[in-house]
Structures are given as C-alpha cells and as structure tokens.
C-alpha cells in the first residue's frame, strides 16, 4: 500500500468522522477498482490479429490497456507477442501488487496446513473460489494463472470429499501453484504425496496388513490413466495393481487426530516385495523409495509425453489438436526431461498455434472472467458472481470426478442460456458486488466503435454492426449482445 504522508495523517482524522473520508486503500470492504493506466488501443483489423489471438490464449482475455501495451513491446506484431510470451513465462519478474491488494483479506488461504482445519469448510471453499476469480481477473501474471487452472483440472480434487474440504486449499498452494511452470516430475511427486490427493483418491486406504491383502488401486489407476500415460497407452490391470503395491503404506492424519493433515509412511502397512511395472523390475526392500521408483518410470515415459502434449495442444490450439504439434511438444517434453516452459515455447512457436484463430470456445469460468476484464468491471467475486459459475457447472474445486472439467466445446453447449443471463445481468449492473461503468469504458476507447472492437478483438462484421445499430440508445443491451455473441464466446 502506497500512502503519502498527507493521506496517512488525514486517515487518522477521518477515522473519527466516518470512513467515507478515508483514502480508499484503508476503507473496510473496499472492492478492487478497475481503473487502468496506459494506452487504450482497440484492434483495427477485420479479423482477429496476432496480438488479440495471443492475449486470448495466454490470458483470460484482454483488459482495456492490454492490447496497446503488448503492441508497444515490438516493432512488429510478431516481435511484440514474442516479447509478451517471454515476459509471461517469467512470472516472478512481473509486479503483481494489484492482485496482492485484491486478495489481501482472504487470509485463510495462507494458513499452515494444520490451521486450515479451524475454518468452516463452506467459508474456506468460498475464499478459495473468490481467490481463483480475483487472480484470474486481476493478476498481471496472466499466463501463470491460466496454467494454474490447467493443472488444477489435470490433478482434479473435489473439495467436498472428506478432509479435502480443508486440505484442497493447501494442495492448490503447495502443489499446483508451486509447480505450475516448473518441472512435471516434481509436480507429479508433489501431487502424489499431497494430503488432499491421498484423501481424494483413497491413497491413505492403500495398505497391506495381512499376507493376502490386495492394495487399493484407486489412485494407481488414475495416476496411469489421467495424470501420466493416458487411457490408451497399453498398460494393463496388472500394471495398475503393481503400482498400487508400490504406493501402499502412505497415509494422512485425519481431522480427528493430532497433527491433522500430516502425511506419513508406515513400513508395516507397505507391500515391500518385488514388483514389475510396465516391464521394469522394482526390487524388494525399497520401502518408501518404491514411490520414487514408480514416479521415475511413469513421469518421463514416452506415453506420458504424448498424453500431456495432446492435452496442452487441445487447450491452446484446438479441440482436436494437429498431430504435428502434438509430436513436437511430446519430443520437447522428453528432450527437456519434463521441464514445462520448453513445452509451452514449442506450442507458441508452432505455426498451428499462430494460425489457430477462434478455434476454441471459452468455458464458463473463462467466459465470465473475460467479460469482467473486457468491461473493466469492479468485483468482489462474491456469492452472487459465483452463483453464475455454479449454474453453468464450472465453479472451481467442485468437479466430482478425477478427470476434471472438460476442455472441449461440446460439454459446455448447454450453458448458453446462462451465459446470456450473465451478460444481461453484468451489463445492467444486476450482480451484487460487481459493476460496470459503461460510460468510462467508452471514454477509454474514444467511442462506442472502439469499445466494440476491444470486446471482439477485431472490427465488427456487417451482421454484428447491424445488430448493434438496432440497440442505438440502449448501451447496456448492446453490451449484453456483444458479450453473449459468438464473436466473444470464441477465442
């Protein structure tokens, strides 16, 4: 918080007479304001250009000053987006003070693992959801937040199951956010031993107490099917059982125990015999090191490279990704030993990515956040806003099964009515805790036409312009029309 001496002195006096005279940084309950500095420049091409395309894919959509800021990074659009991509791949170098201010009151998200159990689960879920929305809306480290959401889906955990009600907050912080742009084997190991994952996929119940006990295979199956190799990679039921044997003996302390949430290894509950995983022999007697051996085998396996490459290309290029791009990304994965940034550079330099304009449909979370960013909305990301995500089936941390939210257009086609309702409510300022200053938006871009080009990422088509002309004098309805249009839904 940056306050002048005058502001600080006035704050003390204002506190005696009412908070309306306080500097806004000190007002209780102050919502994050959407005022931006910079060059407000709208796209001027009839089709989505390279800058708009990259902003749509590497961020949750451009805010008012983003297009002009990125354009200024290079003499050509190609140079500008190359500079922007490298900037976003180094999030630690980006000042994110605005985001820090926006989420400063969500204090429980930074609590140590054991302290999370002191909060009511509903309160914790609400704060986690608010943080996810605010980070997507406000962070300058946009691509980092995009990757956090990608990995949160890949290693999906439903926060309603058992102690996941408390543990998912730590998983998001210490697994997903800590490794989102790091190294995949390290991310996989952190997830495998995450207290939340041990609860969600029953790893804590995988134990051998008697000689004929069979392991709990739930996590082993999802580890191979979803997290690493992929479903059609040739592993067998025997491989699943052997992996489960390797993972036996790990547990996590429950809410009813001391040192809640602590992960422990119990040698007496571990199957310490010889195993054979994907044709690789794991000798007897390794104990806790069995998990490391298994993760070494699967984390850098060629099928894992292909599975992750396909998911990343589906996310950033198209619902049916081109095989040439998948092959290039899979090779980069193996060549760089699972480092995540080289995979992403391979995608973003690929001609298939650069030409894939409007080949993806925004999922509900992305649509809602993109609308908030495009309109420079104020928001507290409160329950009224979250309700729309619930209605559209895309509220963070609430997908019930391990595969996570779908990353194709098809499963989301049933949300179109609620997208329209959201667009209308946002444009009419009918969402409690969220508001748009439409006049200020127009002023930023000089006129109505500039605002429309900013929202669409291009000049409106003839049909779009005729539809807008029908709402002359009704700016809120015109805004709703643009936000609900196919032109804004696609990216």
The pLDDT score that the predictor gives to residue 86 is 98
Radius of gyration in angstroms for the set of CA atoms belonging to the chain, rounded to a whole number: 24
Give 210-243 pLDDT, tens digit per residue.
Answer: 878 899 999 999 999 999 999 999 999 999 999 9
Statement: residue 25 has pLDDT above 50: no
Element (H, E) at 134: helix 121-138
Percentage of residues in the chain having pLDDT higher than 90: 86
Give 254-306 pLDDT, tens digit per residue.
Answer: 988 999 999 999 999 999 999 999 999 999 999 999 999 999 999 999 999 99
Map 284-317 to HEC letters. CCCCCHHHHHHHHHHHCCHHHHHHHHHHHHHHHC
Rounded to 5°, angle at Cα 320 from 319 and 326: 110
pTM confidence score: 0.93
In the predicted model, what is the mean pLDDT of the chain?
Answer: 92
Give 68-113 pLDDT, tens digit per residue.
Answer: 999 999 999 999 999 999 999 999 999 999 899 889 889 899 999 9
The tokens for 148 are 């956090």
CB contact set of 82 (below 8 Å; sequence gap of 6+): 74
How far apart (Å, rounded) are the C-alpha atoms in residues 477 and 468? Answer: 9
β-strand partners of 250: 265
CB contact set of 420 (below 8 Å; sequence gap of 6+): 480, 484
Give 353-405 pLDDT, tens digit per residue.
Answer: 999 999 999 999 999 999 999 999 999 999 999 999 999 999 999 999 999 99
SS3 379: strand
The pLDDT score that the predictor gives to residue 66 is 96
How far apart (Å, rounded) are the C-alpha atoms in residues 305 and 230? Answer: 10
Q: Are strands 280-282 and 378-379 parallel, antiparallel or unpaired?
A: unpaired
Helices (H), 323-474: 323-335, 340-348, 351-355, 364-374, 383-391, 416-427, 438-444, 448-456, 462-469
pLDDT band at 481 (very low <50, low <70, confident <90, very high): very high
Percentage of residues in the chain having pLDDT higher than 70: 92
Statement: residue 198 has pLDDT above 60: yes
Q: What is the mean pLDDT of residues 165-184?
A: 98
Q: Which of 192-206, 336-350, 431-445 has the lowest mean pLDDT?
A: 431-445
Q: How far is CA 490 from CA 244, 356, 409, 484, in A?
A: 42, 11, 10, 10
The pLDDT score that the predictor gives to residue 35 is 53
Q: Do 427 and 477 contact (CB within 8 A), yes or no? A: yes
How far apart (Å, rounded) are the C-alpha atoms in residues 150 and 148? Answer: 5
Give 30-72 pLDDT, tens digit per residue.
Answer: 344 445 667 789 999 999 999 999 999 999 999 999 999 999 9
Helices (H), 164-266: 164-171, 177-179, 184-192, 195-200, 218-222, 237-246
């Amino acid at each position: 918080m940056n306050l002048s001496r005058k502001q600080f002195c006035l704050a003390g006096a204002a506190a005696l007479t009412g908070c309306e005279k306080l500097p806004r940084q000190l007002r209780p309950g102050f919502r994050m304001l959407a005022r931006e500095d910079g060059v407000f420049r709208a796209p001027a091409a009839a089709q989505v250009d390279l800058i708009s395309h990259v902003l749509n894919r590497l961020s949750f959509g451009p805010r008012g000053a983003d297009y002009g800021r990125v354009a200024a990074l290079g003499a050509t659009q190609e140079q500008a987006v190359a500079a922007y991509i490298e900037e976003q791949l180094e999030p630690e170098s980006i000042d994110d003070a605005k985001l820090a201010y926006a989420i400063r009151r969500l204090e429980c998200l930074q609590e140590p693992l054991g302290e999370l159990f002191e909060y009511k689960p509903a309160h914790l879920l609400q704060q986690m959801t608010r943080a996810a929305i605010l980070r997507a809306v406000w962070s300058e480290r946009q691509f980092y937040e995009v990757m956090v959401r990608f990995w949160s889906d890949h290693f999906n955990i439903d926060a309603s199951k058992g102690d996941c009600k408390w543990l998912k907050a730590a998983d998001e912080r210490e697994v997903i956010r800590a490794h989102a742009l790091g190294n995949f084997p390290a991310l996989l190991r952190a997830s495998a031993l995450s207290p939340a994952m041990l609860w969600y996929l029953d790893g804590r119940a995988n134990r051998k107490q008697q000689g004929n006990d069979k392991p709990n295979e739930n996590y082993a199956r999802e580890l191979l099917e979803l997290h690493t190799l992929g479903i059609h990679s040739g592993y067998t039921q025997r491989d699943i059982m052997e992996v489960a044997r390797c993972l036996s003996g790990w547990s996590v302390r429950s809410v009813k125990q001391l040192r809640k949430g602590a992960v422990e290894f119990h040698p007496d509950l571990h199957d310490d015999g010889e195993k054979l995983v994907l044709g690789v022999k794991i000798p007897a007697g390794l104990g806790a090191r069995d998990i490391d051996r298994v993760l070494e085998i699967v984390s850098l396996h060629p099928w894992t490279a292909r599975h992750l490459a396909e998911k990343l290309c589906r996310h950033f290029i198209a619902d049916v990704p081109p095989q040439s791009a998948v092959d290039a990304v899979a090779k980069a994965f193996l060549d760089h030993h699972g480092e995540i940034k080289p995979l992403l550079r391979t995608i973003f330099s690929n001609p298939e990515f650069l030409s894939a304009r409007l080949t993806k449909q925004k999922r509900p979370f992305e649509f809602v956040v993109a609308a908030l960013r495009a309109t420079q909305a104020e928001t507290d990301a409160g329950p009224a806003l979250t309700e729309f995500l619930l209605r559209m089936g895309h509220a963070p941390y609430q997908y019930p099964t391990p595969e996570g939210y779908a990353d194709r257009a098809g499963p989301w086609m049933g949300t179109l009515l609620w997208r329209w309702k959201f667009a209308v409510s946002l444009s009419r300022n009918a969402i409690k805790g969220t508001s748009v200053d439409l006049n200020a938006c127009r002023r930023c871009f000089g006129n109505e036409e500039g605002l429309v080009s900013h929202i669409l990422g291009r000049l409106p088509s003839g049909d779009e312009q005729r539809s807008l002309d029908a709402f002359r004098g009704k700016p809120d309805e015109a805004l709703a029309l643009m936000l609900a249009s196919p032109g804004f839904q696609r990216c």
